[in-house]
Structure 1
């Protein structure tokens, strides 16, 4: 059976397939973790320790050395993405109720939902798209996108807008595994190679544990709202990213569109934030479901839109070159 290949064909499959499997168990047999206990129970409820190991390995896989082009491109995209999410948080806080929207087409929308969906880019999706439609330097720009991973940026955005108050040690605790991994990975290339291999391996385990905290009824209730959120992420973050890529990153906007997705890891952030700040717990489950839907929607639409834009820009650039008459050039130079 080609289970792995099948999962890889599904957008965000390594994360979403185990997540939905866990959600099915939690929906129809919610006491399974307590019933089995021991290692099985720990695997079903161990989201936090699994994520801690994942963030450590992720940090270990990031190299400090990189070319100026890659740093400029990735830095531009990362800062723009975070800045847009921050602005969205400030604006949304003025209009959305603290408990989020409870009914109607936008049921489940909250500041936590919007920030979690918008502040992280799917680095793997970006890299694969740009390997096809961009340069090697542009494809390598995903190197700094790992800095968005995890709840840290979401915490900073929510904290800086006054929507949540995090104790200093909570910030340190959230980022310390990542920083220790980053330090060790850059001190020893063998350690970097060893730990970075585990990054992909941990994804299904944390997806399964996360799924065991979700009721499928909530996901079904999101309906059209999940699709709307995914489209909003592409539009609201994609336009500023395209502008930043063109005028700061030195590109033609293609990399900006390719970065306008929701990362699979973002699915975990609402629940992680809620465990730190219980006030977010009432909206965390709906936010998780909506962010999961956004991962799927953006994973499907972003490659399609990027491909159309890249082809349009290629035709435009070819058109400009065709406007130059080689006979005129020759006559002027003779």
Structure 2
């Protein structure tokens, strides 16, 4: 049976499918995951904090401090552009409408999702349209993954009561991983699969805290959140890519997505500030919907951007085609 390959065909499937399965169990048999011992420790929503902490450590081991200046510049501009878009949008909505947000989308969901991007999708698209520097830029944008930027936004803006020590404690696994990964490349290689391994466990743990009836009540809010991620977050990333990086914009378009890893962010923030706990279930479901929607619409959008404004891979293909045509023409003229 090709169960895993089937799951992988679903956008964000390795997180979304376990999440939906756990939510199904929690909706109709909520006590099944609360029988105690290792079952509850691994498969209930109480496992979220531990697994997210592990994922942060694994992400840290993949962060490379020494990267080529151009790759750092490209990645930093994309990272900051999308982060600012999500942070400003969330803060403005919080000030105008409160933490409950607008149109059923909470500030927790907005800041958690719009500030991030699907790194796996970006790498896949850059492999098709970009160059080596675009690929290397992902090492900088790995900071998008996990709850760090969202926690920082909530803490600095005063939207959440996040003590400095709690913020520091949230990033200690990331820092330790980063130190180890840069001190010894063998650590980076050893833990390189850690992020992907934790994804289904995070998805299941988060799903164990979701009730489908609350998702139904959320209604069209997942589509609205996806639009915010794609239009506002992606739009700012494209502007940064075009006007600061002086690039065609295809790389900015490639991060106009919601990251599967940010599905865990609402729960992580609620662990630090309990006042956001009531929004976790709806925000998690909305982000999961945004992940799927943006994963579907971003690839054709990047293709259109690349064809309209250019990209290294397409330009190389055209050049190779022109050379081939020239050679064929010369062969035809030989008497």
Task: Provide the TM-score with structure 1 as the length reference.
Answer: 0.89
- 1:131 partnered with 2:88: no
Aligned mates of 1:224, 1:165 — CA distance in 2: 30
The residue correspondences of 1:191-206 to structure 2 (distance < 5 A) are 191-206=187-202
Q: Helix, strand or coil: the match of 2:99?
A: coil
Structure 2 counterpart of 1:53? 54
Gaps of 5+ in 2: 320-335
* 1:24 to 2:24 alignment: yes
* Unaligned ranges ≥5, structure 1: 322-334
> Secondary structure of the residue that 2:251 maps to in structure 1?
helix
Superimposed CA distance per residue, residues 206-227 of structure 1 (whole angstroms, 9 cap, x where no aligned partner): 1111111111122233332211
Q: Distance in 2 between matches of 1:97 and 1:157?
A: 15
Partners of 1:196 and 1:28 in 2: CA distance: 37
* Contact 1:19/1:211, CA 8 A, preserved across alignment: yes
Kept after mapping to 2: 8 A contact 1:159/1:166: yes
How far the C-alpha of 1:283 sits from its partner, in A, is 1.6
Equivalent residues, number: 312
- Tell which deviates more after alignment, 170-179 or 216-225: 216-225
2:113 partner SS = helix
SS of aligned partner of 1:196: coil
Question: Residue 64 of structure 2 corresponds to which residue in structure 1?
Answer: 63
Q: Which residue of 2 aligns with 1:235?
A: 231
Q: In structure 1, the residue corresponding to 2:34 is in which secondary structure?
A: helix
SS of match in other structure, 2:67: coil
- Within a 5 Å distance, the mapping from 1:142-291 to structure 2 comes to 142-291=138-287
Please tell me whether the aligned partners of residues 33 and 44 of structure 1 are also in contact (alpha carbons under 8 angstroms).
yes
- Deviations along 1:181-207, one digit per CA (max 9) or x if unpaired, are 110111111111111222211111111
Describe the shift of the 1:131–1:116 C-alpha distance in structure 2 as closer, same or farther (beyond 3 A). same
Q: Calculate the aligned-residue CA RMSD, in Å.
A: 1.8
Indicate yes or no: 2:96 matched with 1:95: yes
Q: Is the contact between residue 124 and residue 142 of structure 1 (CA under 8 Å) also seen in structure 2?
A: no
- Partners of 2:34 and 2:229 lie apart in 1 by 37
1:328: which partner in 2?
none
1:138-191: CA deviation from partner (whole Å, max 9, x where unpaired): 132211121122222111111222211211110111000011011011111111
Cα distance change on mapping 1:197 and 1:64 into 2, 3 Å: same
Three-state SS of the structure 1 residue aligned to 2:275 is helix
CA deviations over 1:214-258 (Å, ceiling 9, x no partner): 111222333322112102211101221111101222311111111
